[in-house]
């Protein structure tokens, strides 16, 4: 029984799909824990570098979930330098360096009034995921999700006075 013609036919059918699909890869994921400032405050700073290749129309990330906390992805421009995303465009690829932070305030748990006034609302991610974060992006008119499952570089914790 010769399976070569069947395998060749399947390969030919799969080539257009493989050529049209964008590729997404995690280049770096940096984490730094911190504590201090106001008594009882702590948190985690993250920077994720995600690279896209093989796309027809440039992908556009819009939301990063850290746990159940949604962070809007906003590109840095000359008119608005205070954003959380830096974009590096090269021929055939685009990289997004996205920063996000999760904070905890232990004093809010001891004072119910401040917890009510804080106004933090959890925004559940649109899909279940396991890992550090979930990146939502649009590419070629369709919504896609990229789970970030590992940290590639851990920085020493920062303690603020």
Model confidence pLDDT, tens digit, residues 46-60: 999 999 999 999 999
Stretch 87-100: mean pLDDT, rounded?
Answer: 94
Stretch 20-24: mean pLDDT, rounded?
Answer: 74
Question: What percent of the chain stands above pLDDT 90?
Answer: 51
> For residue 88, what pLDDT is reported?
94
pTM of the model: 0.75
CA distance 139 to 146: 12
Which candidate, 71, 62, 129, places its Cα nearest to that of 99? 71
């Amino acid at each position: 029984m010769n399976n070569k013609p069947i395998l060749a036919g399947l390969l030919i059918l799969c080539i257009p799909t493989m050529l049209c699909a964008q590729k997404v890869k995690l280049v770096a994921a940096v984490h730094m824990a911190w504590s201090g400032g106001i008594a009882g405050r702590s948190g985690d700073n993250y920077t994720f570098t995600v690279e896209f290749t093989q796309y027809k129309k440039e992908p556009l990330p819009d939301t990063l979930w850290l746990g159940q906390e949604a962070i809007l992805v906003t590109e840095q421009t000359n008119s608005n330098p205070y954003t959380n995303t830096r974009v590096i465009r090269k021929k055939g690829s685009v990289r997004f360096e996205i920063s996000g932070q999760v904070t905890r305030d232990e004093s809010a748990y001891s004072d119910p009034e401040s917890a009510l006034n804080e106004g933090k609302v959890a925004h559940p991610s649109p899909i279940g995921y396991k890992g550090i974060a979930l990146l939502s992006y649009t590419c070629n008119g369709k919504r896609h999700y990229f789970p970030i499952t590992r940290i590639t570089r851990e920085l020493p914790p920062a303690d603020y006075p």
